[in-house]
Amino acid sequence: MTFFRVIGFSVLVLLVYTGFANILPQVQSDPPSEEVVETSGMDMPGMIAYGEKLFSGKGTCTLCHNDLGRAPDLLAMDLAADFSERQEDAGYSGAATGKEGAAWVEAYLHESLVDPSAYVVPGFGKKGTNDTQSPMPVVNAPPIEMDDVQMNALIAFLQDRAGFEPTVALPSAADTPVAPPAGSVEAPEPLAANGVEAIDKFFCSGCHDLEGSEADLGPALNGISARMTRGEVMSAILEPNAVIADGYEADIMPADFSAQMHSSELILIVDYLMGLPQ
Amino acid sequence: MIRIKPKTALIATFAVAVLFLPEIALATGADTGGVLEGAPQPTRADYPQIGGISARTLAWGLAQMHLFLAAFVLAVPLFSIATEFMGVVSRDDRYDNMAREFMKITMAAYSLTALVGGGLALALFLFYPHLMGYMMKVFRGQTLIYAALFGLESITLYVYFYSWDALRHGNRKWVHMSIGLLLNTVGLSLMFIANAWTSFMMSPAGVDAAGAITGSVWEATRNPLWNPLNLHRFLANIAYGGAIVGGYSAYMFLAEKKAETKAHYDWMGYTSNFIAILGFLPLPFAGYWLMAEIYSYSQQMGITAMGGILAWLFIIQAVLIGTIMLAANYYLWSGLMRTDRGAQYTKYVKYIAFVIVCGFLVWVTPHSLILSAQELQVLGGTHHRLLGPLGIMPAKNTAVNLMLVFTFLSFQMFYRSSRVPTVSWARAGNTVIIALYIVGCMNIVGAGIYGYITPTVYKVGASVPQVVSTLMIILGSVLIDSFMLRGAKSEKIHWGRMHERSQYALFVLPVAFTWLMGLMGYIRSSLRTHWHIYTIMKDNSPEAYIPTIGQAGNTITAVTLAFMAVMVFVFWLSRLGATKQAAPAGQE
Amino acid sequence: MVFIVALAVWAAAFYVMDRYIMSAQGLPVGADMMPL
């Protein structure tokens, strides 16, 4: 009897919680639809309207840029006054320096989107960083992932709100508005400057015994200049599965160096390898 | 010649093991010869569809069940060894017997945890092969260590339990406790590893923006949200384990008829409730740290949680925590009737109840709501004019700190009711404690008000003095009491002298805790929105959406009911193990 | 009497703690120091 009373009581408590959860406003959050907006041929008013849509949509700007104090309330404040104040601020030394008027605004806004920590409005920095680091995410990187056309639309929208004539470039047919390909990296990696750097960058020592790594997934490369010509070494790097060395397996060495390597880096590596001792 | 006592040597050995085992387990695979490609990006069609099975619901249900059981199985050995230690220190056999009883309850639960965990792994590999393949690449050797640790956990668990009587006294007792310590270390390591995978999915580290591995396993493990999650789960496990054992004790108290056994279970229920509150008190702060780290890692993620679509969930959380606090306090107030002196404290109960209920109401009040256009019109904006301000952090922190202070007060009252101070300065001592409470509470409220009249950045900062005030009140009272109650006349505590309805408070605790855990899991998973691994691997599965609170509530309730059934089975098994059928009359 | 003294001592202790914590976070103590 006790058993049923206890179970009954527990189930009752559970039902109260379940009921409460069900009477609250129900919101289902769907993943953002990759809405392909045809932007080629869009005119400036179209860009401004698109920018406004993005501001509260894909850009998720209103999440922070509102009256709760996390970020400047862009929709409520006097943008024109704020921008001219920012321009005069001796503390500002970002990308917009030296420009005037609407061009200044465009450069400043673009910088705010791709490098928010370049200039942090006093009082809005991450706690403890003394306003040197901004909590704002980089807009053209995940998770927001805006492309150039969308960023221009946002800038046009804000320029318009500030009373300026938008100066952004209108999208051409070449600017197809698709999400950036998966696996895109924010900033291009710097080119290797010498052979050792190139070896490091492409991780050759991970499989070949180079720079003392003693790895043996791939053939030892000491004395390669005696066995292969420059051309053969180059082919071996760019098309590794064409000729497999005795005792080693196919499909282990990455086959996409031709896409990843800059030709200058390829030459550096070949020079380095040809220079290895016997 | 220096003689090292075996006890010392053993403790030293196991301390070394304790210190280094997690390091070894977590830092494996320090090689950086990882795969250079990025995370896979499967399209919707790449996700396996099997029959009409909802992959997400299956994985969710199994994961949640696994977590419920695992939390229980990790927590109980923790306070088992603590209780065992109490038994050694106080030389009171009751503690040792209770510790053993704690362990007995968990034995069956352990294999069920592993079973459900296996089911979870199967479901994940079956339905999310790309994600799991990638996770295996990132965490490589660590997954094998995880598997090996399970073996070690089994060994230590069974040895710890079955050797109880064989290693009962003297030095052998220390050996036994060392085994218990090892058991707990292994258990914690298991949790820390699993936490690394979970937190990696939220705040990836050791990989670049495309998901290509750039660092060691240790770097991926030690991502920004790992330690906050570790602390939060560690404390929550303790509170949770205490609550479940409390439920068990309450049930046994109601079911048993003999006064002696009832007294035993009443005492066990009190101890479990004490452990649950002990684990529960620091939880808001651990949770706060977790939230702060989420904000620090990605402000977007943080705002999604608290100001965006998930905001209502924290209101439900407030309701659950409110019921937990009220239930725990109600149990403590009921406990006052165990002593004859307790009656004199009952007149304060209504004030404490008032503070707790008010605190709860403040906590429940939301700030930014998702409103329909009609509701917006009626309300005249997104926030209520009067109640809106109660929705933001300063009010919430003030409320929770006051609730914690007054819960501690309930506990202190019960504690005092069985002890009459005999020191000469008792009156002055009491005055000092009262003054401490008054000033402390005023400071908490003051810091809260300060948070209102200053910009956002200061609000967050103002919450730290509030926490410290609560801690100062608690520690100060405990310290003064420890001196004041030296040589105190102890009143007899009539264990077992409790109203039946007080035990129902002990049922509310595990039910509410379980549901709360389910809710928090829903929040944690939803924070990633449409990402498997935040910013690195998109979730393109058919069920990538965040379900509504109602749907989530239904799923959580279903899993909670299943868990309750499992626990009933586990407890029944432990009773069955102690039952002996009498031989029929006339049998040789 | 004990009560008044206790109140004063505790108030001092809490105030010192407040100041220390707030300044360790780089934040002001005192409403008059808040920016607009």
For residue B582, pLDDT beyond 90: no
Tell me B365's DSSP state. -
- Hey, which chains touch C, using 3+ CB pairs under 8 Å? A, B
Tell me whether residues A141 and B209 touch, CB distance under 8 A: yes
Tell me whether residues C35 and A123 touch, CB distance under 8 A: yes
Nearest CB among B435, B438, B453 relative to C31 is that of B453
Q: Please, which pLDDT band fits residue B578 given cuts at 50, 70 and 90?
A: confident
Contact status, residue A276 vs residue A225, Cβ threshold 8 Å:
yes
CA distance C36 to chain A (A): 11
Nearest CB among B436, B454, B468 relative to C34 is that of B454
Q: What is the pLDDT of residue B519?
A: 93
Which residue in B522, B436, B499, B505 sits closest to B471, CA to CA?
B436
Tell me whether residues C11 and B431 touch, CB distance under 8 A: no
* A110-146 per-residue burial string, b: 16 or more CB within 10 A, e: under 16: bebbbebbebbeeebbbbeeebeebbbbbbbbbbbbb
Which residue in B582, B511, B581, B575 sits closest to B261, CA to CA?
B575
Quick count: other Cβ atoms within 10 Å of Cβ A78?
Answer: 12
Please tell me which residue, A278 or B110, carries the higher pLDDT value.
Answer: B110
Which residue in A32, A24, A2 sits closest to A179, CA to CA?
A32
Q: Dihedral (C-alpha) B340, B344, B346, B350: value to the nearest 10 degrees?
A: 180
Beta bridge partners of B538: B531
Residue C20 C-alpha from the chain's centroid:
8
Q: Which chain B residue has the Cα nearest residue A11?
A: B561
Q: Which residue has the tokens 């479901």?
A: B123
Q: Which residues of C touch B (CB under 8 A)?
A: 2-3, 6-7, 10-11, 13-14, 17-18, 21-22, 25, 27-28, 31, 34-35
Domain boundaries of chain A, sorted by first residue = 44-161, 195-274
Distance CA B107, CA B571 (A): 10
CATH number of A195-274: 1.10.760.10
CA distance B473 to chain C (A): 10
User: What 3-state class would DSSP assign to A248?
Assistant: coil
Dihedrals φ, ψ of B546, to 5°?
Answer: -90, 120
Handedness of CA A249, A253, A254, A259 (dihedral sign): negative
Per-residue pLDDT tens over the stretch B57-108: 999 999 999 999 999 999 999 989 988 998 998 888 999 999 998 898 888 8
Q: What is the pLDDT of residue A218?
A: 80
Q: Which chain C residue has the Cα nearest residue A130?
A: C26
Q: B-chain residues within 8 Å CB-CB of C21? A: 461, 464-465, 468
Tell me what percent of the residues of chain B surpass a pLDDT of 70: 87
Q: Please, which pLDDT band fits residue B30 given cuts at 50, 70 and 90?
A: very low
Q: Which residues lie closer than 8 Å to B352 by C-beta, 6 or more apart?
A: B329, B333, B406, B409, B410
Q: Which chain B residue has the Cα nearest residue C27?
A: B458
Q: Which residue has the tokens 């041929």?
A: A41
Per-residue pLDDT tens over the stretch B372-429: 555 555 555 555 555 555 556 677 778 888 888 998 888 888 888 888 888 888 888 8
Handedness of CA B100, B104, B107, B113 (dihedral sign): negative
Per-residue pLDDT tens over the stretch B305-335: 766 677 778 778 888 888 898 899 999 888 8
Distance CA B418, CA B413 (A): 9
Q: Please, which pLDDT band fits residue B160 given cuts at 50, 70 and 90?
A: very high
Contact status, residue B495 vs residue B266, Cβ threshold 8 Å:
yes
Q: Which chain A residue has the Cα nearest residue C25?
A: A128
Domain boundaries of chain B, sorted by first residue = 6-29+40-298+514-575
Handedness of CA B147, B153, B513, B398 (dihedral sign): negative
Tell me whether residues C26 and A123 touch, CB distance under 8 A: no
- DSSP-derived secondary structure for B8-20: HHHHHHHHHHHHH
In B203-225, alpha helices (H)? 217-221
Q: What is the pLDDT of residue B112?
A: 92
Tell me B341's DSSP state. G
Distance CA B312, CA B317 (A): 9
Beta bridge partners of B7: none
Distance CA C19, CA B341 (A): 41
Q: What is the pLDDT of residue B587?
A: 63
- The two three-digit tokens of residue B298, written as one number: 């990605």
Per-residue pLDDT tens over the stretch B433-481: 999 999 999 988 888 887 777 666 566 667 778 888 888 999 999 999 8
Q: Which residue has the tokens 């910013």?
A: B535
Helix axes B311-335, B393-417, angle to 10 degrees: 20
Q: What is the pLDDT of residue A186?
A: 45
- The two three-digit tokens of residue A90, written as one number: 């001796």
Q: B-chain residues within 8 Å CB-CB of C33? A: none
Instruction: Note whether B530 contacts A: Cβ–Cβ < 8 A.
Output: yes
Q: C-chain residues within 8 Å CB-CB of B455? A: 34-35
Tell me whether residues B458 and C34 touch, CB distance under 8 A: yes
Test the B interface: residue of C18, C23, C29 with most B CBs within 10 Å: C18
Q: How many inter-chain contacts (B to C, CB under 8 Å) are there?
A: 56
What mean pLDDT is predicted for residues B476-497? 86
Tell me whether residues C25 and A123 touch, CB distance under 8 A: no
Tell me whether residues C10 and B462 touch, CB distance under 8 A: no
Q: What is the pLDDT of residue C29?
A: 52
Which residue in B557, B53, B99, B126 sits closest to B316, CA to CA?
B557
Handedness of CA B384, B386, B392, B396 (dihedral sign): negative
Tell me whether residues C26 and A130 touch, CB distance under 8 A: yes
Model confidence, pTM = 0.76
Q: C-chain residues within 8 Å CB-CB of A123? A: 35
Q: What is the pLDDT of residue B29?
A: 47
Instruction: Note whether C35 contacts A: Cβ–Cβ < 8 A.
Output: yes
Q: What is the pLDDT of residue B383?
A: 57
Tell me A45's DSSP state. H
Instruction: Note whether B455 contacts A: Cβ–Cβ < 8 A.
Output: yes
Distance CA B461, CA C23 (A): 10
Beta bridge partners of B533: B537
For residue C18, pLDDT beyond 70: yes
Which residue in B202, B57, B232 sits closest to B534, CA to CA?
B202
For chain A, the maximum distance between any two Cα atoms, rounded to a whole number of angstroms, is: 91
Instruction: Note whether C26 contacts A: Cβ–Cβ < 8 A.
Output: yes
Nearest CB among B254, B461, B512 relative to A13 is that of B512
In B418-497, alpha helices (H)? 426-452, 456-484
For residue B10, pLDDT beyond 60: yes
Distance CA A120, CA C19 (A): 27
Residue B60, phi-psi category: left (phi > 0), alpha (psi -120 to 50), beta (remainder) = alpha
Per-residue pLDDT tens over the stretch B40-65: 888 888 888 888 888 999 999 999 99
CA distance C7 to chain A (A): 34
Distance CA B313, CA A36 (A): 33
For residue B132, pLDDT beyond 90: yes
Q: Which residues lie closer than 8 Å to A169 by C-beta, 6 or more apart?
A: A152
- Hey, which chains touch A, using 3+ CB pairs under 8 Å? B, C
Tell me whether residues A128 and C35 touch, CB distance under 8 A: no
Test the A interface: residue of B43, B383, B507, B566 with most A CBs within 10 Å: B507
CA distance B432 to chain C (A): 6
Q: Please, which pLDDT band fits residue B521 given cuts at 50, 70 and 90?
A: very high
Distance CA B74, CA B569 (A): 19
Q: Which chain B residue has the Cα nearest residue A63?
A: B303
- Could you say which residues of chain A have pLDDT below 70? 34-37, 39, 68-69, 127-128, 173-190
- The two three-digit tokens of residue B276, written as one number: 């649950």
Half-sphere exposure in the Cβ direction for A46 (13 Å, CA): 11
Tell me whether residues C3 and B435 touch, CB distance under 8 A: yes
Instruction: Note whether B511 contacts A: Cβ–Cβ < 8 A.
Output: yes
